[in-house]
Amino acid sequence: MNAVTRNYLTVTGGYWAFTITDGAIRMLVVLYFHQLGYSPFEVAMLFLFYEFFGIVTNLVGGWLGARIGLNLTMHIGMALQVVALTMLAAPDHWLSVAYVMFAQALSGIAKDLNKMSAKASVKALTKGGSEGDGEGRLFKWVAVLTGSKNALKGAGFFIGAALLQWFGFRAAVLILAAMLLAVLVITAILLPSGVGKMKSKPKFSQVFSRVAAINWLSAARFFLFGSRDVWFVVGLPVFLYDVLGWKFMEVGGFLALWVIGYGIVQASAPRLLQRSHHGQGPGGATARFWAFVLMLFPAGMALALQQGWPADWVVVTGLLLFGVVFAINSAVHSYLILAYSSHDKVAMNVGFYYMANAGGRLAGTVLSGWAYQVWGLEGCLWWSAAFVLMAALLSLALPEVEPARN
């Protein structure tokens, strides 16, 4: 095994471990605080700082990674997640809305530092080789990294629900903190320093991309991920628990299986799309096509629920189909941001792009609690369809992939 492959596997392993804790903490907070009597909107508010500071982190994180190295920003993210998990192990009377929002803010900073660092590292590690081989390998590596991450996030949903049911909230978060701390130590030893670090110190103003394709893609990403979280974050788990009467383990297990399947499809995207791209990566036309296809599913589910079709059948079937198409959309986007970026500015471009991603998640999270409380799951689904339509329209401006000139 050569050094590049070993470093890629180390980055991926660290990303996997972090992702399990990220999925678990989300499920723990939603289910535990709903059980304590929080309304859907109040539960959504617990994630407000998580998503808001994700925007700030991605804006600053790419610039920071370019200055100090992506491996260091990744480990800072892991350390902050350990602190956030430990904070949530406090006694019940400490767990006010403000306290939990602060812990979630640290977790949001941690998540986006880790994600930005891992994905930007892939671009840095694929440097070299012929142009065609490099683009093909880049699409495969980023699809595997992102797809496997989402599969592990699904496992995190189940692990969080299972730990909550078996050990209780406090023991669960401490177990997760201990696991991640051990991984942090191992990856800090194995990874070389300076991955993704620019030779010259970039100015902060350079975090705002001057490449039109990256700006259009970032705008589309905002609405793409808002379309998922507007019904997935709060509305769906509360609907499954309250309306369909599922238990914690059933809610966590189902959402875990969905995200695992979503991750498998995302990791398989290069094989699913290879015939239409002849071994090369996809381009703007691919992003447009799959965005318009995705819009059909939340709109169809909302109509079916309004027509009185069986809710369990509509939600389970619709969610599975939505997951497949959303995974392809996400894989194409994750590839395009790296393909549109040059090697020396990848950290800042990825940071800017995931700032838009975090903004979409913030909008979706807040709308998820509010729309569910006002209109129920059907309202969340109509918001989702509108967000996907915006992503599709913005994708009309995306070009095909060319060698980066930024």
**Is the CB of residue 31 less than 8 Å from the CB of residue 161?**
yes
Residue 199: how many other CB atoms lie within 10 Å: 6
**Cα–Cα distances in Å, from 209 out to 65, 223, 236, 359, 395?**
16, 19, 35, 16, 17
Say if residue 386's pLDDT is above 80: yes
pLDDT for the residue 325 = 93
End-to-end Cα distance, the chain: 33
Say if residue 132's pLDDT is above 80: no
Q: Which domains does the chain have, with CATH numbers?
A: 3-193+211-397 (1.20.1250.20)
**Is the CB of residue 349 less than 8 Å from the CB of residue 209?**
yes
Average pLDDT over residues 145-173: 82
Say if residue 195's pLDDT is above 70: no
Say if residue 347's pLDDT is above 70: no
Average pLDDT over residues 143-161: 77
Average pLDDT over residues 55-69: 71
Q: Which of 127, 115, 112 is nearest to 196 (CA)?
A: 127
Average pLDDT over residues 305-320: 92
Average pLDDT over residues 70-85: 87
pLDDT band with cut points at 50, 70 and 90 for residue 201: low
Phi, psi (deg, nearest 5) at residue 178: -65, -40
**Is the CB of residue 332 less than 8 Å from the CB of residue 50?**
no
**Is the CB of residue 110 less than 8 Å from the CB of residue 81?**
yes
DSSP sequence for 11-35: HHHHHHHHHHHHHHHHHHHHHHHHH
pLDDT for the residue 1 = 58
Query: Looking at 94-108, 196-210, 373-387, which range is the least confident one?
Result: 196-210
**Is the CB of residue 54 less than 8 Å from the CB of residue 104?**
no
pLDDT band with cut points at 50, 70 and 90 for residue 129: very low
pLDDT for the residue 340 = 80
Say if residue 194's pLDDT is above 60: no
pTM for this entry:
0.68
Percent with pLDDT over 70 in the chain: 79
Say if residue 302's pLDDT is above 90: yes
Query: Looking at 53-62, 129-138, 366-375, which range is the least confident one?
Result: 129-138
What's the sign of the alpha-carbon dihedral 387, 393, 397, 401? positive
Structure tokens at 74: 């990744």
Say if residue 373's pLDDT is above 90: no
pLDDT for the residue 405 = 44
pLDDT for the residue 406 = 42
Say if residue 85's pLDDT is above 80: yes
Q: Between 263 and 160, where is the model more confident?
A: 160
pLDDT for the residue 182 = 92
**Cα–Cα distances in Å, from 45 out to 30, 163, 329?**
11, 23, 28
Q: Between 120 and 245, where is the model more confident?
A: 245
**Cα–Cα distances in Å, from 282 out to 255, 278, 400?**
29, 10, 8
pLDDT for the residue 404 = 44
**Is the CB of residue 50 less than 8 Å from the CB of residue 364?**
no
**Is the CB of residue 265 less than 8 Å from the CB of residue 327?**
yes
Q: Between 12 and 404, where is the model more confident?
A: 12
Q: Which of 84, 151, 141, 154 is nearest to 112 (CA)?
A: 84
Say if residue 19's pLDDT is above 80: yes
Q: Between 69 and 134, where is the model more confident?
A: 69
Q: For residue range 166-192, list pLDDT tens digits in order.
A: 888 889 999 999 999 999 998 888 776
Name the average pLDDT for the chain: 80
DSSP 317: H
pLDDT band with cut points at 50, 70 and 90 for residue 127: low
Say if residue 322's pLDDT is above 80: yes
pLDDT for the residue 346 = 63
Say if residue 131's pLDDT is above 50: no
Query: At residue 21, what is the residue type?
Result: T
